[in-house]
Structure 1
Amino acid sequence: MNTALDIPALLDALTLEEQVSLLTGADFWTTVAIPRLGIPAVKVTDGPNGARGGIFNGGPQTACFPAAIALGSTWDPALIAEAGRALAEESRLKGAGALLAPTVNLHRSTLNGRNFECYSEDPHLTGEIACGYIRGLQSGGVAATIKHFVCNDSEVERMSIDSVVDERTLRELYLVPFEKAVKEAGVQAVMTSYNRINGDFAADHAPLVRDVLRGQWGFDGLVMSDWFAEHATEKSATAGMDLEMPGPTRQRGAALVQAVREGRVPAEDVRACAGRVLQFVERLGAFARPGIPEERAEDSAERRALIRRLGAAGCVLLKNEGERLPLSASARTIALIGPSAETARIMGGGSANVNALHRITPRQGLEAQTDATILSAPGADCHRWTPVLQQPMAVEFFASTDLSGEPVARAVYPSSEKVWAGEVLPGIDPMRFSARATLEHTPAEDGEHLISLTSAGRTRAFIDGELVVDAWESWSRGETYFTFGCDERIVRRTLRAGQPLRITIEFSSPTEVDVAFKALRLGLHRPRGETDLAEAETLARQADVALVFIGLNDEWDCEGLDRPDMRLPHGQNALVERVAAANPNTIVVLQTGAPVELPWIDRVPAVLQAWYPGQECGHAIADVLLGRAEPGGRLSQTWPVQLADVVTSQGDARRYPGQGGRVVYEEGVFIGYRHHDSREIAPRFAFGHGLGYTRFAWETPQVDRTRFAPGEAVTVSVRITNTGARAGSEVVQLYVADVHSRVERPAQELKAFAKLHLQPGESAVATLTLGERAFAFFDAERGGWVAEAGEFRLRLGASSRDLRAELAVTLTHDGFTAA
């Protein structure tokens, strides 16, 4: 902090009303400025895979980085720090001093809608990747905002669900990444979650915010609420939650001023919160450089290359029988099949969504690198909501809510979907307006089509003057648009190819949901069926190799709602079966933000998990398929055989999705591989699994001591040699098992890892150090970490199931560290 700024003196000069005004955003993205005292505003922007800026969709373009699960799958904190530095540059291009990222909630379930936005099921891996991200971002002068504090591990009833979790589980799993970020990376801001934790909303949670985050961990930065997530004027201020977002205020303002004057909130608590807001503004350099720059886009070749490299580094080669990958140069005809073959699946949905500078499709990526003949067919659908029309939509706006009067503004949007977050157009009240959208569409194919409406606001759609879809009188709150929108309304109509349609959509903003977030979406699509499957099968027979691009998209992997199951939607599984039967040289490229069931896995020789690799999607995937880059990823989440194998899917609704407004973390510390290993459930692919294009030899590992006392560290080293003909990387993973314990502990837990990049014939030593905490469990009664005397097994491997060596060490006597 710049010592030239005297924050206590500045607080003294502020009236109570002015101090309180600092504790709520001025609008959706900026803090409050107080010109009379020279206090500037600062701007925040959504992340984590890009810096979107102040317009929710359709704003200035920005670089789109791989989704967090892809970054977590790199197991490479140093590389992720490079991404953080680049994201700092992107944030500054949008005039923002803080990026709302990273997301470090854990993969408790495979169905979480924001699984893609989180790094891993494992707290240690999540924490290490997050620290790399934070260090890189903050080295570029932009504050990281780690989120969501804490236990926002599902999107079911996300605004109100009560996560019931014991303290040991909190400490050993869900709080670990936040603790590491505070203590090791110096994160500057923390965002609280929507949900309750053991009864209290996260933004009002004094035991977690005031006592743990600030008291025990020493965090002196800013705590902000998630958007519209503050519920209690008094409790949030006394808990030390500094900044209510967005503005204008809902819980503070005059209500907080009155609470102070009536003695219900101590004035010193408000002063402390205001002081941290001022400190945050100062740390971002805004006092020295006041003013928020205009948003702009910048297409950088260096940034494109980094995103491409990150995409390949996160790709996980799940299976490669007969070394079908990389593709042989003899493959002169390639059948490119699937709903994602000619669509760039670059990111998940929700607040992570950005207007990407590029969207490179797999076909574009392959065509740029090979002169093979490419045959293409979609074969099946992938969507969750009926696809929108990618053509201009003209909209006229009214100052009334019933389309009366003359239009007060007009705009044209590039598709049949538009979201307004906080601001519509100048002079239009986002809470009270109406609009009429028009577009003309000519179907390309005969047949039955789906026509749909989804809206945050009331809508109805007409075709050639006939009302066809109504979400006006019958509008009710559903799961779309962060739960601010209605559920999709769909009708079926037989349409003729070449016959133009004039489509009109009427919109009115007021609903029972009192937030300034409005949206309308018209979908129109011919669903794919048997004809499309047969076409794909025919092309597969004609090709040397069939590449099937299947998976999910940003509607399934999306903030606001979980997935209903682990199955691939529509006919994608049937598509793989048909193509594999037609061509034994079938390679599947999966793009999902979470594991899915793979009923055809034994009938295809190779499977590559590409996640959502950012704007250079097609280039990164082609690099891996053609061998220009190694598939550098290792699974950061256990891949179950079936949904029933997941700990949250054991038939107890209290555990998931929740019951009576509560979700009980009854499994305790046994999630992911901890559950599979301890309960002896075989995964489809183990945590940490990932193949490459070369081979590695592991020498016998060494440990620097076999007996150690509390406070001493244990260091394990192992020499790895690349014995293959290609450059590659190996991830050395170290798991710790407590042989005897008075509490039930997982069979093993990841406590250290190292990623080695080796040329052919090159050797390197992985050195892994374990402190006392690596051997400890949390004792809630004693309020600290207990490492029990006795024997521990140190297991080294390439995954949680591919273990190469085991060492025994003994802790000579009990150790205890207070929380």
Structure 2
Amino acid sequence: MNIEAMLDLMSLEEQVSLLAGEDFWTTVAIDRLNIPKIKVTDGPNGARGGGSLVGGVKATCYPVAIALGATWNPDLVAEMGVSLAGQVKSKGASVLLAPTVNIHRSGLNGRNFECYSEDPMLTASLAVAYIKGVQSQGVAAAIKHFAGNESEIERQTMSSDIDERALREIYLPPFEQAVKKAGVMAVMSSYNRLNGTYTSEHSWLLTQVLREQWGFDGIVMSDWFGSHSTAETVNAGLDLEMPGPSRDRGAKLVEAVRQGQVDPGTVRAAAGRILTLLQRVGAFDAAPDLSEHAHDLPQDRALIRRLGAEGAVLLKNEDDVLPLAKSGLRRVAVIGPNSAQARVMGGGSAQINAHYTISPLDGLRAALQGTADIAHAVGCSNGRLAQLFEGAVEARYYKGVGCQGEPVIVVTEQNGEFFWFDLPSSELSLKDFSVRMTGAFTPKENGQHFFGMTNAGLAKLYVDGELVIDGATDWTKGENFFGTANSEIREVRDLRAGRSYTITVEYLSPPPADYGINLTAIRFGVEKVLGDEAIQEAVDTARAADVALVFVGRNGQWDTEGQDLPDMRLPGRQEELIERVSAANPNCIVVLQTGGPVEMPWLDKVRAVLQVWYPGQELGHVVADLLLGDQEPGGRLPQTFPRRLTDNAAITGDPSVYPGKDGHVRYAESVFVGYRHHDARGVEPLFPFGFGLGYTSFRLDAAEASTTIMADSGIEVSVRVANTGARAGADVIQLYVEPTASDIERPVKELRAFAKIALQSGESGTVSLSITPRDLSYYDVELGAFRSLPGRYRLVIGSHAQDRRSTIDIELPQEWRGAVDDRTI
């Protein structure tokens, strides 16, 4: 199709219509010209489709991004991208809103789990692989969030104040490589301001850097409700306002053109890029089928299981207690709040309705069936919200906000969480509807239970007709549902085991003006109050077992979009649980599930620690594979684990640095993020960047370089690796560059290349690592270029950021400069 000829046939109004969505998930069609609409879908660890944030058609749930970052395996991530593209198509979509490549800055970011790493080189390598995999199947990737969205606190208004050197060296390279190496088709602007200007109307960012310097020729889209103006966004380079219907485009943009505020050529160019995207995803060849269906494939299940194992990081393994020998197990204690619950993903827009989930308890029961007895105890809770009500919920939908008259439609759902992008009947309006939800709860034990509810909109919860929670009177906005719902209200009631209690919730849609963005959602649940007796039960269970497996961490209520973490400690009484269980059973193994680093004051009291993150729907099978030795824990940390929160570069005690003050958060650490900070300031980490143990051992021979004189062609470094252990395994060989002395303060060293190698017992192999003159450089703001000074540089090769197995000194004979508009890397 000839795009320019198509644009010639279009009126200004038609061109403008392409620059905003039709609804929450689709673009606008122009029937007169046979221009179809396409659907986009959230990612990055699955393809949800256009349904509810918490429901809809079932989808495959892959590991979260930090777990992918821990694989250090771009080839495997590319394989996931191919698989994920099939999921996108099964949801009738053509664009995947992923990957997320913001940098792990503070350790407290609510979306830390959704990002790959603290290091831009590792992040970029994995993002390029992910995008290539997705786009090889004719699906567009939309990399996000461009740029400076490293915190969820006041994210829709906060200004991330970042110096240009830090931007060029740390925060922009993943986006840059996505453009130059992967040909990414779409970029999503972030909510925040960057140095005082909203990124959605930041011409330096969207036009000068992205298009003119890097050569990006795809579309730039807003995050949902993340554009705030008409002329400013279009002129800055924002092509697509999402979601629709338009708030700032449409007639407003047509008028802005007629008033001379926007050049008609600017609108034409943006419309042309939208048409080019449609062409690239094949929409003109055959109008997309927007219908959705579940697509559960055995090869996807196997891939998730492999990804989970390759991303799991073994942090401690005293006396090689892992893997556990099945033959030596008679009784296994499975303990902790994450043992029987399948914590497979984080919260927020990354949530999907997984085909199924396997809990660690279920996975171990299946793996040890007929071999060992399993005793289970929860010990304590770790939820930020009440445990979600699970079971049939009859939802009766009414016109108006009174739950009166005959319902328009009656729908039965399977839990107590509702997030409405659309309603189940076209007769209903999101601006004026109500729902009466009814379910039955039968406690398994006598005792006190707490009911909890949070609602974006007004709601009341009744138990057997008694008003228990009033979420309507004096409603105030809190932190849930992206900051549009109230804080959870809890009330305790004494319940009897075996008796059925009727829970009724009446929900009234809110006036949109009360919210800023029109979100309608509710979540309610009930949970037994766990006290000292629950921990004592866990202790008794552990004491009687050969080994105590303690499953602790967080969940998607903590690791979630819309809010940051309060600290880096395990929530609830989990630390106490670990200490008491380990005192009762010396064979105590902790399995961690968090979306980032956590403090470990209990580390010396346990024999092993395995970090499995949120590895997707196969969680329980992955855990069993790893603990019992059927798979190797192949992960290495993509983020430094500090000993304490205050060891982090962003946690200085100055609120202007974190979490922000007066609408600004100042990145005072500049380029000294993560291990760069720990190196430069002499702060010993708990576990260094790149660290991870395995079930075998490796020997690295002295590295060899193709030459020690750096020229434009770069240098190849080869390292011979031998598996000296008794079983197969994999190691990650990492190359860091230590710069020559200069007047510019630079990190002590920076990751510049890595390779993962898998070897059988006794097998050897060679990895090749390439570096170029840019790998020696820093960004010179005054010159507006990357600059490598002449002199001596040291290449450090090892298995983590504090490991120096081998070094090579090289020479750069003359200064090298790399222009920002160089289209190669």
TM superposition score category, shorter chain reference? over 0.9
Would the aligned equivalents of 1:335 and 1:374 in 2 still touch at CA under 8 Å? yes
Residue matched to 2:582: 580
Report 1:696-711 matches (<5 A): 696-709=698-711, 711=712
Name the aligned partner's letter for residue 7 of structure 1. I
Alignment of 1:537 with 2:539, yes or no, is yes
Corresponding position of 1:390: 390
Alignment of 1:711-726 (within 5 A): 711-726=712-727
Q: 1:65–1:613: 8 Å Cα contact kept in structure 2?
A: yes
Correspondences of 1:390-789 after superposition (within 5 Å): 390-511=390-511, 512-709=514-711, 711-789=712-790
Maintained 8 Å contact 1:43/1:292: no
Same amino acid, percent of matched pairs: 51
Contact 1:123 1:173 in 2 (8 A): yes
Conserved? CA contact 1:422–1:516, under 8 Å: no
1:319 corresponding residue in structure 2: 316
Structure 2 residue 136 is matched with structure 1 residue 135: no
> Given that residues 408 and 425 in structure 2 are in contact (C-alpha distance below 8 angstroms), is that contact kept between their aligned partners in structure 1?
no
Q: 1:335 aligns with which of 333, 336, 341?
A: 333
Q: Contact between 1:479 and 1:486, CA under 8 Å: does it hold in 2?
A: yes
Q: Determine the structure 2 residue equivalent to 1:225.
A: 222
Q: Please tell me whether residue 210 in structure 1 is matched to residue 207 in structure 2.
A: yes
SS at match of 1:181: helix
The more displaced of 202-211 and 699-708 is 699-708
Q: Which whole-Å CA distance do the structure 1 matches of 2:301 and 2:452 have between them?
A: 36
> Is contact 1:421–1:516 with CA below 8 Å preserved after alignment?
no
Contact 1:424 1:430 in 2 (8 A): no
Match of 1:49 among 24, 35, 45: 45
Whole-Å separation in 1 of the counterparts to 2:164 and 2:568: 30
Deviations, residues 554-600 of structure 1 (Å, cap 9, x unaligned)? 11110110110111111111111111011101111001111111111
**CA apart distance, 1:362:** 1.0
SS at 1:766's partner residue? strand
Aligned position for 2:823? none
* CA distance, structure 1, for counterparts of residue 742 and residue 277 of structure 2: 44
Distance 2:401 2:263 in 1: 43
- The C-alpha deviation readout for 1:417-439, integer Å capped at 9, x for no partner, is 11112445322111221122122
Corresponding letter in the other structure for 1:275: G
Q: Secondary structure in 1 aligned to 2:367?
A: coil
Amino acid at match of 1:21: S
- Where do residues 67-466 of structure 1 align in structure 2 (5 Å cutoff)? 67-329=64-326, 330-370=328-368, 371-466=371-466
Q: Deviations over 1:215-254 (max 9, x none)?
A: 1000000111100000011111011111111101111111
TM superposition shift of 1:514:
4.2
Q: Residue 43 of structure 1 aligns to which amino acid in structure 2?
A: K
Letter in 2 for 1:154: S
CA contact (8 A) 1:786 1:816 kept: yes
Q: Which residue of 2 aligns with 1:23?
A: 19
Q: Deviations over 1:521-580 (max 9, x none)?
A: 112111211111111111111111111111100111101101101111111111111110
Q: Which moved more, 1:359-368 or 1:225-234?
A: 359-368
* Distance (whole Å) between structure 2 residues aligned to residue 283 and residue 643 of structure 1: 45
Asked whether the 8 Å contact 1:536–1:579 carries over to 2, the reply is yes
Q: Match of 2:331, as an amino acid? A: T
Describe the superposition over 1:478-525 as per-residue Cα deviations: whole angstroms up to 9, x where unpaired: 211111212111222223333432222121111411434211111211
Q: For residue 291 of structure 1, what is the amino acid of its counterpart?
A: P
Moved more, 189-198 or 416-425: 416-425
Partner of 2:7: 11
Q: Which residue identity is paired with 1:212?
A: V
Distance between the aligned counterparts of 2:361 and 2:47, measured in 1? 27
Q: Given the superposition, is the C-alpha separation of residues 106 and 735 from structure 1 closer, same or farther in structure 2, using an over 3 Å criterion?
A: same
Greater shift after overlay, 442-451 or 153-162? Answer: 442-451
- State the one-letter code of the partner of 1:413: E
2:5 maps to amino acid: A
Q: Distance in 2 between matches of 1:616 and 1:91?
A: 20
Matches within 5 A, 1:770-809: 770-809=771-810
CA distance in structure 2 between the aligned counterparts of 1:414 and 1:596, rounded to whole angstroms: 33
TM-score of the superposed pair, with normalisation by structure 1: 0.98
User: Counterpart amino acid of 1:564?
Assistant: P
Contact 2:336 2:380 (8 Å CA) reproduced: yes
- Displacement of 1:168: 0.4
Report SS of the residue matched to 1:73.
helix
Q: Contact conserved, 2:431 with 2:509, CA < 8 A, in 1?
A: yes
SS at match of 1:368: helix
Does the residue aligned with 2:436 lie in a helix, a strand or coil?
strand
Supply the distance in 2 between the matched residues of 1:794 and 1:179 (Cα, whole angstroms): 24
Alignment partners' CA distance in 1, 2:555 and 2:107? 15
CA distance in 1, matches of 2:75, 2:692: 19
In the superposition, relative to structure 1, how do residues 316 and 641 fare at CA in structure 2: closer, same or farther (>3 Å)? same
SS in 2 for 1:17: helix
Contact 1:25 1:32 survives alignment (8 Å): yes
Q: Is the 8 A contact 1:64 1:356 kept in 2?
A: yes
Contact 2:510 2:520 in 1 (8 A): no
Residues 190-209 of structure 1, C-alpha deviations (whole Å, 9 max, x = no match): 11110000111111111000
Report the residue type matching 1:58 in the other structure. G
Distance 2:486 2:172 in 1: 34
After superposition, the C-alpha distances for 1:641-665 in whole angstroms (9 at most, x for unaligned) are 1111111111110011000111000
- 1:500 partner amino acid: S
> In the aligned structure 1, how far is the partner of 2:290 from the partner of 2:503?
39
CA deviation digits over 1:67-89, x for unaligned, max 9?
Answer: 10000100000010100000011
Residue type at the aligned position of 1:151: G
Helix, strand or coil: the match of 1:580? helix
Maintained 8 Å contact 1:228/1:246: yes
- The aligned amino acid for 2:684 is A
Please give the alpha-carbon distance, in whole angstroms, between the structure 2 residues aligned to 1:258 and 1:477. Answer: 36
* Residue identity in the other structure for 1:341: S
Paired residues of 2:39 and 2:290 also in contact (CA < 8 A): no
In 1, Cα distance between equivalents of 2:742 and 2:478? 47
Structure 1 residues 174 and 314: alpha-carbon distance in aligned structure 2, compared to 1, 3 A threshold: same
Letter in 2 for 1:695: S
SS at match of 2:156: coil
1:405-456 CA distance string (max 9 Å, x none): 4322221211111111244532211122112212222323222222222011
Runs of 4+ in 1 over 6 A off after TM superposition: none
Aligned AA for 1:67? V
- After TM superposition, the score normalised by the length of structure 2 is 0.97
Does the 8 Å CA contact 1:334/1:373 hold for their aligned counterparts?
A: yes
Whole-angstrom CA distance in 1 between matches of 2:249 and 2:473? 34
8 Å Cα contact 2:702-2:805 kept in structure 1: no
